[in-house]
Amino acid sequence: MSKLCEGRVVIVTGGARGIGREHCLMLAEHGAKVVVNDLGGARDGSGSDQGPADDVVAEIELMGGEAVANGDDVSDWEGAQRMVNQAIETFGDLTGIVSNAGILRDRMLVNMTEAEWDAVIQVHLKGTFAPARWAASYWRDKAKAGEPVNASIVNTSSVSGLYGNPGQTNYGAAKMGIAAFTVIAARELKRYGVRVNAIAPGALTRMTEDLGMGDASEEDRALMHPRYIAPIVTWLQSAESADVTGRVFEASGRLLGVANGWHRGPVVEAVDDPTQIAEVARQLVSEAQLNSGMDGRPFDGGLLS
């Protein structure tokens, strides 16, 4: 079997369990040297334990690959820099980051606490920004020195962020923010030989095990195994994907697609008088495409009677 990622060096954040673990194993299977980053916390972000990251490293080494564990917090500025430096110092280079680390603190808006909001935004948004920033600086310096760069960042958005899921204003806002971050960073970093894409995955993991899959059949549960997310990420981390950037791929069970971003809908000439705008605004809304439901298809979200 040909190895897509031979010679690549990739950091995977949140790489010890679930979707992240599958990323690490498949990247290693395809020849990448992997930095398995994981704080080892609980689903809500509490606690820490490097043991799970060490276990994934051991799995990779057992299959003949190369990997090293990293226990830094992705949202810590200095920790993110240490993570990038560790990859370069250990393997001599860095060609990619898969930002996968995340936590859940679901709550309806009227009950959500400041701490629940802040923690989720911190891990997802800053935890995507900080490693990418240090890696981008490294790649920019290489490009300016005349060295070839073929680098890839793969971020993790969510259908909750793209389409909206009640009970997840914190998580969804962060994940929509990551989609916007992806598009903007792709435009900024292309000049340096860096592509930036994202995935919106759906899989049955400890993050999602209590979100409606409890009564699913064994067949349906098998179809939602996190291993089905890893192929698109492995390809995006390979040199083969150099011409693809700024895209968000949906990877949910056996579905693979591209999510289209916001587009301008119906327009009219601006109305200066707010007392005259009601009919115009309602007409625009009636002509506009509905927002999507969690299945990615138009859905009024129960807002229309």
Query: How high does pLDDT run on average in the chain?
Result: 91
174-214 residue pLDDT tens? 999 999 999 999 999 999 999 999 999 986 644 545 545 55
Q: Is the Cβ–Cβ distance between 47 and 22 less than 8 Å? A: no
Instruction: Label the pairing between strands 33-37 and 151-156.
Output: unpaired
Predicted confidence at residue 225, as pLDDT, reads: 79
Using the predicted structure, report yes or no on whether residue 152 has a pLDDT greater than 60: yes
Q: Is the Cβ–Cβ distance between 83 and 35 less than 8 Å? A: yes
291-294 LR contacts (CB < 8 Å, sep 24+): 291/163, 291/164, 292/162, 292/163, 292/164, 293/163, 294/159, 294/160, 294/163, 294/164, 294/165
Select 9-259's CATH number: 3.40.50.300, 2.30.30.60, 3.30.70.1340, 3.40.50.720.
3.40.50.720
Residue percentage of the chain with pLDDT more than 90: 79
Among candidate residues 138, 163, 171, 228, the one labeled active-site is 171
Predicted confidence at residue 88, as pLDDT, reads: 98
How far, in whole angstroms, is CA 79 from its chain's centroid? 19
pLDDT band at 78 (very low <50, low <70, confident <90, very high): very high
Reported pTM:
0.90
Predicted confidence at residue 68, as pLDDT, reads: 98
Annotated active-site residue 192? The verdict is no
Residue 264's CB: how many other CB atoms inside 10 A? 6
Q: Which residue has the tokens 């700024």?
A: 246
- Backbone CA torsion sign across 101, 103, 108, 109: negative
pLDDT band at 287 (very low <50, low <70, confident <90, very high): very high
Instruction: Label the pairing between strands 248-252 and 255-259.
Output: antiparallel
Nearest one of 188, 287, 26 to 12, comparing CA atoms: 26
Please tell me the distance from the alpha carbon of residue 243 to that of residue 236, in angstroms, as a whole number: 10
Q: Is the Cβ–Cβ distance between 22 and 34 less than 8 Å? A: no
Query: With b meaning 16 or more CB within 10 Å and e meaning fewer, what string describes 102-115?
Result: bbbbbbeeeebeee
The predicted model gives 38-58 an average pLDDT of 79
Q: Which residue has the tokens 């993050």?
A: 207
The predicted model gives 86-96 an average pLDDT of 98
Return the higher-pLDDT residue of 253 and 18.
18
Nearest one of 171, 155, 151, 154 to 163, comparing CA atoms: 171
pLDDT band at 305 (very low <50, low <70, confident <90, very high): very low
Give the helix ranges, DSSP H, for 190-265: 218-223, 230-236
Q: Is the Cβ–Cβ distance between 127 and 101 less than 8 Å? A: yes
Using the predicted structure, report yes or no on whether residue 115 has a pLDDT greater than 90: yes
**197 - beta bridge partners?**
154
Instruction: Using alpha carbons, list the distances in angstroms from residue 93 to 88, 90, 96.
Output: 4, 8, 10
Predicted confidence at residue 129, as pLDDT, reads: 98
Using the predicted structure, report yes or no on whether residue 35 has a pLDDT greater than 90: yes
Q: Which residue has the tokens 């799970």?
A: 52
* Best mean pLDDT range from 2-6, 159-163, 243-247: 243-247
Contacts of 91 (CB under 8 A, 6+ apart): 9, 33, 35, 66, 68
pLDDT band at 299 (very low <50, low <70, confident <90, very high): confident
Please tell me the distance from the alpha carbon of residue 267 to that of residue 141, in angstroms, as a whole number: 44
Return the higher-pLDDT residue of 295 and 1.
295
Residue spans of the domains in the chain: they are 9-259, 263-305
